[in-house]
């Protein structure tokens, strides 16, 4: 096989890049190691920044999102039983976010890819990359029980934190920055109508909690827990009791209970690889950076990466101009670190850290009060939450 761009990973980053390139007349092949039903059912975050929403609409894959997604123009901070609303629209000249599950975005992108007739191979596992530092990269992969090769001009690694792309680069090329957090999120999907129209971020002595939703019928909820938490120790009743404790409000608001459909524990880390490219390999999304989920930045940052890549590859093939490709990492990394800082800041401000001294606890509370009371601090949160403008 031969193509112009080989894309490793059929998640939102790889699929969106392939779609953008197809619209520009650039050929690509997408290799996804998992089956289609696994990819379409993989539960991930679902808060889309304003820029992500706009790009999906402009790219012609936002019709179902506009019809079924939940537009939000505010979020709430819950502290000491009191809810404080952050009006995103007021502080960002009209911007907001869209609650629309990542797996729903993936379904839309898969449908668009299949409709185009362009190659999308499921259960295609890349086994080796060669020629990344030359002019003719080659991807070795397995598909339908056969060993195959894919020759290309460029390889794009959208294959996640544990993928083969970053691991194929020689030692010493990348500098890695990482922070492992001493807590995780226990997340549940509940068959219950959301009891509030906007997300609620709760600071509580027992630990952080988040009220969210996936649809008018499904509530998404999170509890701060230990990274090695045993889900067997969390029967449904215990989960609901702890959620109601941490999300209790003095205005009488209460959760709607329902059958819990899914449970999982998500460890939390911050991770950045610099640079995000090597030779003819370019990393995007989780292959290059991980953020804690508190700031709702993971998929949005991946979208920003592939938007930049699509523009750079268009310039390369349409105009013969490779400057944007050469500058890809330099141009993306500033936004990456902004998202890393915002996610770390939200995480540090809202979670209970048992290693904190009383002094640090007081500083944490002071930061929360400042965000609630100061229009300048509120604007900072709102601007970052809806997503800063792209260059």
**Residues with a known catalytic role:** 72, 201, 293, 297, 385
Asked if residues 244 and 255 have their Cβ atoms less than 8 Å apart, the reply is yes
Q: What gap in Å lies between CA 214 and CA 69, rounded to an integer?
A: 8
Give the position of tokens 């995007």. 284
Distances (CA, A) of 291 to 127, 153, 181, 341: 27, 30, 11, 9
DSSP labels for 202-230?
A: EE-TT--EEEEESSSS-EEEEEEE-TT--
Collapsing DSSP to helix, strand or coil, 97 comes out as: strand
Collapsing DSSP to helix, strand or coil, 310 comes out as: helix
Q: What gap in Å lies between CA 390 and CA 274, rounded to an integer?
A: 20
Strand stretches in 116-218, DSSP E: 120-121, 124-130, 138-143, 146-151, 154-157, 175-191, 200-203, 209-213
Q: Within a 13 Å sphere around the CA of 274, how many CA atoms are in the beta-carbon half?
A: 12
């Amino acid at each position: 096989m031969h193509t112009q761009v080989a894309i490793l990973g059929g998640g939102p980053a790889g699929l969106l890049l392939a779609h953008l390139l197809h619209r520009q007349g650039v050929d690509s092949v997408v290799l996804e190691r998992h089956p289609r039903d696994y990819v379409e059912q993989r539960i991930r975050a679902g808060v889309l920044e304003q820029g992500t929403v706009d790009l999906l609409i402009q790219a012609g894959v936002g019709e179902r999102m506009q019809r079924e997604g939940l537009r939000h123009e505010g979020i709430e901070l819950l502290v000491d039983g009191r809810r404080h609303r952050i009006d995103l629209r007021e502080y960002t000249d009209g911007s907001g976010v869209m609650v629309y599950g990542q797996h729903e975005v993936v379904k839309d992108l898969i449908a668009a890819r299949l409709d185009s007739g362009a190659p999308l191979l499921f259960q295609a596992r890349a086994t080796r990359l060669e020629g990344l530092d030359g002019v003719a990269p080659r991807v070795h992969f397995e598909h339908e029980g056969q060993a195959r090769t894919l020759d290309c001009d460029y390889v794009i690694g959208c294959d996640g934190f544990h993928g083969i792309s970053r691991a194929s680069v020689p030692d010493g090329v990348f500098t890695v920055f990482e922070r492992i957090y001493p807590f995780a999120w226990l997340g549940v999907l509940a068959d219950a109508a959301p009891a509030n129209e906007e997300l609620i971020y709760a600071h509580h002595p027992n630990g952080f909690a988040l009220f969210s939703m996936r649809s008018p019928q499904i509530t998404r909820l999170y509890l701060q827990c230990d990274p090695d938490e045993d889900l067997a120790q969390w029967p449904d009743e215990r989960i609901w009791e702890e959620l109601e404790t941490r999300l209790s409000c003095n205005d009488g608001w209460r959760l709607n209970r329902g059958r819990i459909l899914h449970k999982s524990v998500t460890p939390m880390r911050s991770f950045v690889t610099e640079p995000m490219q090597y030779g003819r390999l370019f990393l995007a999304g989780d292959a290059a950076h991980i953020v804690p989920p508190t700031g709702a930045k993971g998929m949005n940052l991946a979208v920003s990466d592939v938007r930049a890549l699509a523009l750079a590859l268009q310039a390369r093939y349409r105009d013969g101009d490779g400057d944007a490709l050469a500058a890809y990492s330099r141009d993306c990394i500033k936004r990456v670190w902004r998202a890393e800082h915002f996610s770390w800041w939200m995480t540090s401000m809202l979670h209970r850290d048992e290693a904190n001294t009383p002094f640090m606890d007081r500083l944490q509370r002071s930061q929360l009060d400042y965000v609630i009371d100061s229009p300048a601090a509120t604007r900072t949160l709102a601007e970052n939450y809806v997503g800063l403008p792209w260059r």
